[in-house]
A and B are shown apart, each in its own frame.
Chain A
Amino acid sequence: MESTGIVFTASGGQGVITTAIILARAATIFEGKNAIQSQSYGAAARGGATRADILISEGNLYYPKVEKADVFVALMQEGYDKYASVIKPGGLMIVDPRYVTPGNMNAKIVELPMYDTVVKEIGKPIVYSVCVVGALIGMTGICKPESAISVIEDAMPPAFFDLNKKALEVGITLGKDAA
Chain B
Amino acid sequence: MAENIQFIPGSDACIEGALYAGCEFFAGYPITPSSEVAEGLSKELPKRGGKFIQMEDEIASMACVIGASLAGKKSMTATSGPGFSLKQEGIGYACMTETPCVIANVQRGGPSTGNPTHVAQGDTMQARWGAHGDHSIIAMTASNLQDVFKMTVEAFNLAETYRTPVVLMFDEATQHLREKVVIPEPGEIEVIDRIRTDIPVGEQYYPYLTDANGQRPMSDFGAGHRFHVTGLHHNLLGFPDVSPENVNELIHHLVDKIDSKANEIARYKEYYMDDADYVIVCYGTTTRSALQAAEDYRNQLGIKVGVLELQVVWPFADEIVREKCANAKAVIVSEMNMGQIVREVRRVVDQPEKVYFSNRVDNQIIKPADIKAALRMITGKGV
Q: Chain B's nearest CB lies how many Å from the CB of A137? A: 17
Contact B178 A41 (CB under 8 A): no
Contact A34 B180 (CB under 8 A): yes
Set of chain B residues within 8 Å of A38, measured between Cβ atoms = 173, 176-178
A interface footprint on B176-187 (CB within 8 Å = 1, 0 otherwise): 111110000000
Q: Chain A's nearest CB lies how many Å from the CB of B308? A: 16
Is B239 interfacial (CB 8 A cutoff)? no
Is A66 interfacial (CB 8 A cutoff)? no
Contact B7 A43 (CB under 8 A): no
Who on chain B is nearest to A67 by CB?
B367
Set of chain B residues within 8 Å of A39, measured between Cβ atoms = 176
- The 8 Å CB contact of A41, one of B5, B6, B33, is B33
Contact A41 B176 (CB under 8 A): yes
Set of chain B residues within 8 Å of A174, measured between Cβ atoms = none
How many chain A residues touch B (CB < 8 A): the figure is: 21
- Known A-B contacts A34-B180, A36-B178; A29 and B7 likewise in contact (beta carbons under 8 Å): yes
Contact A35 B173 (CB under 8 A): no
Who on chain A is nearest to B174 by CB?
A64
Set of chain A residues within 8 Å of B118, measured between Cβ atoms = 41-42
Set of chain B residues within 8 Å of A21, measured between Cβ atoms = 7, 178
Who on chain A is nearest to B172 by CB?
A41
Instruction: Please report whether the interface of chain B is mostly helix, strand, loop or mixed according to DSSP.
Output: mixed
Set of chain B residues within 8 Å of A41, measured between Cβ atoms = 33, 117-118, 172, 176
- The 8 Å CB contact of B289, one of A25, A34, A62, is A62
Within residues 98 to 124 of chain B, which ones have a CB less than 8 A from any CB in chain A? 116-118
Q: Chain A's nearest CB lies how many Å from the CB of B350? A: 30
Set of chain A residues within 8 Å of B288, measured between Cβ atoms = 62-64
Give the CA-CA distance A24 to B367 in the complex, in Å: 22
Set of chain A residues within 8 Å of B116, measured between Cβ atoms = 43
Give the CA-CA distance A39 to B291 in the complex, in Å: 22
- Known A-B contacts A41-B33, A41-B172, A43-B117; A64 and B177 likewise in contact (beta carbons under 8 Å): yes
- Known A-B contacts A35-B180, A36-B177, A43-B117; A63 and B5 likewise in contact (beta carbons under 8 Å): no
Q: Chain B's nearest CB lies how many Å from the CB of A143? A: 13
Q: Chain B's nearest CB lies how many Å from the CB of A9? A: 17
Who on chain A is nearest to B366 by CB?
A63
Give the CA-CA distance A43 to B289 in the complex, in Å: 26
Q: Chain A's nearest CB lies how many Å from the CB of B365? A: 7
B interface footprint on A13-38 (CB within 8 Å = 1, 0 otherwise): 00000000100110011000011111
Set of chain B residues within 8 Å of A35, measured between Cβ atoms = 7, 179-180
Is B130 interfacial (CB 8 A cutoff)? no
Is A144 interfacial (CB 8 A cutoff)? no
Q: Chain A's nearest CB lies how many Å from the CB of B13? A: 13
Is A65 interfacial (CB 8 A cutoff)? yes
Within residues 39 to 68 of chain A, which ones have a CB less than 8 A from any CB in chain B? 39, 41-43, 60-65, 67
Set of chain A residues within 8 Å of B50, measured between Cβ atoms = none
Set of chain A residues within 8 Å of B173, measured between Cβ atoms = 38, 64
Contact B180 A37 (CB under 8 A): no
Q: Chain A's nearest CB lies how many Å from the CB of B59? A: 25
Q: Chain A's nearest CB lies how many Å from the CB of B287? A: 8
Q: Chain A's nearest CB lies how many Å from the CB of B152? A: 19
Is B22 interfacial (CB 8 A cutoff)? no
Give the CA-CA distance A92 to B52 in the complex, in Å: 47
Name, among A21, A35, A62, the residue most crowded by chain B CB atoms within 10 Å (CB to CB): A62
- The 8 Å CB contact of B179, one of A36, A42, A63, A65, is A36
Q: Chain B's nearest CB lies how many Å from the CB of A20? A: 9
Q: Chain B's nearest CB lies how many Å from the CB of A118? A: 25
Contact A63 B367 (CB under 8 A): yes
Is B368 interfacial (CB 8 A cutoff)? yes
Within residues 18 to 50 of chain B, which ones have a CB less than 8 A from any CB in chain A? 33
Give the CA-CA distance A62 to B6 in the complex, in Å: 18
- Known A-B contacts A42-B117, A43-B116, A64-B365; A28 and B180 likewise in contact (beta carbons under 8 Å): yes
- The 8 Å CB contact of B291, one of A29, A34, A62, is A62
Is B292 interfacial (CB 8 A cutoff)? yes
Contact B368 A24 (CB under 8 A): no
Q: Chain A's nearest CB lies how many Å from the CB of B242? A: 48
Contact A34 B368 (CB under 8 A): no
- Known A-B contacts A34-B180, A41-B176; A62 and B368 likewise in contact (beta carbons under 8 Å): yes
Which residues on B are within 8 Å of A, measured CB to CB? 5-7, 33, 116-118, 172-173, 176-180, 288-289, 291-292, 365, 367-368
26 pairs from A and B in contact (CB 8 Å cutoff) = A21-B7, A28-B5, A29-B5, A29-B7, A34-B179, A34-B180, A35-B7, A35-B179, A37-B177, A38-B173, A38-B178, A41-B33, A41-B117, A41-B172, A42-B118, A43-B117, A60-B291, A62-B292, A62-B368, A63-B289, A63-B365, A64-B173, A64-B177, A64-B288, A64-B365, A67-B367
Which residues on A are within 8 Å of B, measured CB to CB? 21, 24-25, 28-29, 34-39, 41-43, 60-65, 67
Given contacts A24-B7, A41-B172, 20 further A-B contacts (CB under 8 A): A21-B7, A25-B7, A28-B5, A28-B180, A29-B5, A29-B6, A34-B180, A35-B7, A36-B179, A37-B7, A37-B177, A38-B177, A41-B176, A42-B117, A42-B118, A62-B288, A63-B292, A63-B367, A63-B368, A64-B365
